[in-house]
Amino acid sequence: MVHPKRAITRDARTRRPKRPTREAMRKPRRRTHHGMTRGQTRMFKHILVPIDLSDKNARTLRTALMLASQSRARVTLLHVVQHVQHIPIGEMRPFYRRLVATSRRRLAEAAKAFAAEGVSVGTEVLVGEPAREVVRLAMAKKADLVVMGSHKVNPARRNRGWGTTSYKVGIFCQCPILLVK
């Protein structure tokens, strides 16, 4: 026996399903505990948030937190310590260790806001060229979205801004990028 609410009513003449009544259209859909309606899929499951640990990241972090909360996504906060070119990493190992330790502490502070909202958050600190490492980690972690800050480009100075990290990530990354200005 078919449950009466699940039965599909059909128009007797055309044998096509009938349109829902106005009452059914007005009836609000029941929302689950995380604000999504039943049957609705999450837009993002994993959001990568590369930050440079400056004071300019507050807006980027707020945007990522809002998106992660709405879609119940897990977040990875990333900082890339810029590798000094033409100097072997081995020669500067103590220097990089100090930078990585400081970066981990600062990322842990940023992660507290996400954890306070119930968002699953992890942190990563890498050494290398920032754009390359962001793209690599996005692919390795199968990120659905990269949320990163970007400075404003002055239209009067057209040749400036094409070599920025956000531009390079936008070109080479396989997932969507949200630039926060």
- pLDDT tens, residue by residue, 87-135: 887 888 999 999 999 999 999 999 999 999 999 999 999 999 999 999 9
| Burial class of 16 by CB neighbour count within 10 A (0 to 12, 13 to 18, 19+) | exposed
55: helix, strand or coil: helix
**Amino acid letter at 43?**
M
Q: What distance separates the 2 farthest-apart alpha carbons in the chain?
A: 83
**What pLDDT, on the 0 to 100 scale, is given for residue 74?**
97
Are the beta carbons of 96 and 81 closer than 8 angstroms?
Answer: yes
Residue spans of the domains in the chain: they are: 45-180
Q: What's the rounded Cα separation, in Å, for the pair 49 and 41?
A: 22
The helix or strand, by DSSP H or E, that contains position 58, with its residue range, turns out to be helix 58-71
The set of residues, in sequence order, having a beta carbon less than 8 Å from that of 123 and lying 6+ positions away, is 76, 77, 78, 79, 104, 107, 108, 111
Asked if 50 and 80 touch (Cβ cutoff 8 Å), the reply is: yes
* Residue 149 scores a pLDDT above 80: yes
Give CATH superfamily name and number for 45-180.
HUPs (3.40.50.620)
In this prediction, residue 33 has a pLDDT band, given cuts at 50, 70 and 90, of: very low
- Which of 47, 107, 48, 38 is closest to 71 using CA atoms? 47
| Chain segment 74-86, per-residue pLDDT in tens | 999 999 999 888 8
Do 30 and 38 meet the contact criterion of CB atoms below 8 Å apart? yes
Beta bridge partners of 146: 48, 177
15-44 average pLDDT score? 60
Compare 179 and 86 and report the one with higher pLDDT: 179
What residue type is assigned to position 140 of the chain? A
